[in-house]
Amino acid sequence: MRELNIAVVQMEPQLGKMESNVAKMLDFITKIATAQPVDVIVFPELAATGFEGGLRFAQMAQTMPGPLVNMLGQRAAEFGVRVLVGMAARADVETVLYNSAVLIGPDGNVVGDYRKVHLQAEERMIFRPGFKIAPIVTEVGVLGIMVGWDLAFPEVARSLVLDGAEVILVPAAWERQHVAMWRNLLVTRAYENGVFVAAANRIGAEPSYTFAGQSAILGPTGNVMAALEDPEPQTVVTPEGEVRTVEPAEPQEGYIVVRLDLDEVRRVREATQMIQARQPAAYRALVRKY
């Protein structure tokens, strides 16, 4: 049995406060790695900076390696874990920025990175879209990465799986008003590809956004293995005997850890034939822009 212990972190980054965001991530790494064995820890999209940074991303964007990656790398090496962090990354050309997810290895060095391909309207004013979709081969399995809105595009997950991905990591900043779609897409991407999905979605609010949370880890049949669900409404009785429903609290920070049996990917795909039954010759329209 090939096993992989994976954790997803649900946190509330503070907009523009990189020092406190990194400190919080370091604390999460320590807390998770000292509580149980873990191979990979996934943080949300743009966890280092906050989401609505606008022109401030020009100052907050980091190189790879750089100060932010180095700090997280030291903690990753201390515990021998892999850390995936969402950050604004600077290319060799100073003015070119990407909404990136960087995978740091258990030795503290960068193993690989992914640049978000599908940018929404305001993101296109700041970031350049990525163009490379390729999994990363590690000692613990073949890991695919996609970020946020990429989840809505089936081509990303399918491309990763056709190139060997066994687990897809999804750092996200998905809005609360679209939380039902978030849940549905996670199930769909896992099921249609026979792949594990580990999704870390942020919480909190920024000037134009309120984020959903509901981070989750799903199995290759689309089954939810663990999730950070919203608190349920509470029914209370007042001293006067009146029954009232108290609205639930906001989503909370936290994390979940699941042990994955990577051999299940092969078993599920053999049983469903989802990948084998594809008919690529019939899909020519997929490569057309419109």
pLDDT tens digits, residue range 195-243? 999 999 999 999 999 999 999 999 999 999 999 987 655 555 656 667 6
Q: Are strands 82-90 and 40-42 parallel, antiparallel or unpaired?
A: parallel
Which residues, including other chains, have CB under 8 Å from residue 178's CB and lie 6 or more apart? 212
Q: What percent of the chain has pLDDT over 90?
A: 83
Per-residue pLDDT at 287: 77
Per-residue pLDDT at 259: 98
Could you tell me the residue range of the domain that residue 220 belongs to?
3-287
Q: Is 267 left (phi over 0), alpha (psi -120 to 50) or beta?
A: alpha
DSSP state of 80: T
pLDDT tens digits, residue range 138-196? 999 999 999 999 999 999 999 999 999 999 999 999 999 999 999 999 999 999 999 99
pLDDT tens digits, residue range 28-79? 999 999 999 999 999 999 999 999 999 899 999 998 888 999 999 999 999 9
Looking at 72-86, 87-101, 109-123, 194-208, which range is the least confident one?
A: 87-101
246 pLDDT higher than 60 = no
Per-residue pLDDT at 94: 72
pTM of the model: 0.93
Could you tell me the end-to-end alpha-carbon distance of the chain, in angstroms, rounded to an integer? 44
CA atoms within 13 A on the CB side of 47: 35
For the chain, the domain total comes to 1
Q: Is 280 helix (H, G, I), strand (E, B) or coil?
A: helix
25: CATH: 3.60.110.10
